[in-house]
Structure 1
Amino acid sequence: MSRIGKKPVNLPKGVTVTIDEENKAVVKGPKGELQFTFNKDMKFEILEDEVVITRPSESKKDRTMHGTTRAILNNLVTGVNEGFEKRLEIIGVGYRAQLRGKQLTLQLGKSHPEEVVIPEGLEVEVPKNTQIIIKGTDKQLVGEFAANIRSLRSPEPYKGKGIRYVGERVRRKEGKTAK
């Protein structure tokens, strides 16, 4: 039995889950509403304050989908209740970020500034010109947008310049040595 899949998904107060016959889940909470269509084989049982997921058989496909389905549903519930957040920091001389409406302008040592449009459903804050905070209810969207911003100038191993997640450790290399 899947260790993750057999755990029930707890529903906090104010969060409702409805699942129709095509396994399309609609999760509503104080921060918004999220939808996801799950594998048709999985069975959902909605109780008062939790959702229990069962699988039809012990095949490898069903076992893998069991844990994945539970994790996705748990992320939907967490997203509409608390939300998700990713923090990025910019390191480098002259590297900075600026927020202009629904656009994030990044100066990353290139000849031109990078203009990034903020997708719907996400909220971006720039408390300092070297910090970016991305917030949203959809965990995948928050993570993907943060990864896209990081990929514009990944941290390099010699001086550590670039965009990195807060708390990320960049393995540094030693430069050339003169003889």
Structure 2
Amino acid sequence: MSTVQIKGPLGELSMDVPAYVNINQDPALPGPTLTVEDATDKKQKSMWGTTRAYLQNHILGVSEGHSAILRFNGVGYRSTIEKTATTVEPEYPGQEFVNLKVGYSHPIELGIPKGMKASTPQPTRLLLEGPEKEVVMQFAAKIRKWRVPEPYKGKGIFVNGETIKLKNKRTK
């Protein structure tokens, strides 16, 4: 395993690359190219594409950033960004919290992971931004888990333009 450092205007990320994957930087080509030692080996072949995808996500993350837009659909469903939380302890100094009101008797408070930014352009929208795609989408999934979209009324938390097909009422 070797570690690759990727730097950009939005930060710096590091990535572990298997020893049999080689990264070649050719000045004639627009970006790096990847090769493996044995292209017939099944494991090396599968890690070739996976490593390329992870590398592309890291490069895009430090240059442009990744984002996820969550849409709250339901009566009274909304979110806010708070500096402090009453039910959760901060994991690092200056951590902000997402406060969800999605139909429970209490508000749900979730700590925003380090390096991510969250904003609420509207009370029913939540914008998550960060350099690591995996962290952004994992946090979006963690929020979505509180109210998964349901197929009868169409209520729930939708991620990145997700839609569901509504079902008809159940009849006997």
Fold shared, TM-score > 0.5 on shorter chain: yes
For 1:26 and 1:125, the matched residues in 2 are separated by 29
Find the counterpart in structure 2 of residue 162 from structure 1: 156
Find the counterpart in structure 1 of residue 42 from structure 2: 60
Q: Which amino acid aligns with 1:93?
A: V
Residue among 79, 101, 112 paired with 2:61: 79
| 1:58-80 Cα shifts (integer Å, max 9, x gaps) | 11111101111111111111111
Report deviation, 1:121.
0.9
For 1:47 and 1:131, the matched residues in 2 are separated by 43
Q: Which runs of 5+ in 2 are unaligned?
A: 84-95
| 1:55-100 Cα shifts (integer Å, max 9, x gaps) | 1111111110111111111111111100011101000001111111
2:120 aligned with 1:126, yes or no? yes
Report deviation, 1:47.
2.9
Q: Which runs of 5+ in 1 are unaligned?
A: 1-21
Q: Which amino acid aligns with 2:56?
A: N
**Identical positions, percent:** 38
**Length-normalised TM-score, structure 1:** 0.84
Find the counterpart in structure 1 of residue 77 from structure 2: 95
Aligned residues: 157
Q: Which amino acid aligns with 1:70?
A: R
Report deviation, 1:44.
1.5
**Length-normalised TM-score, structure 2:** 0.87
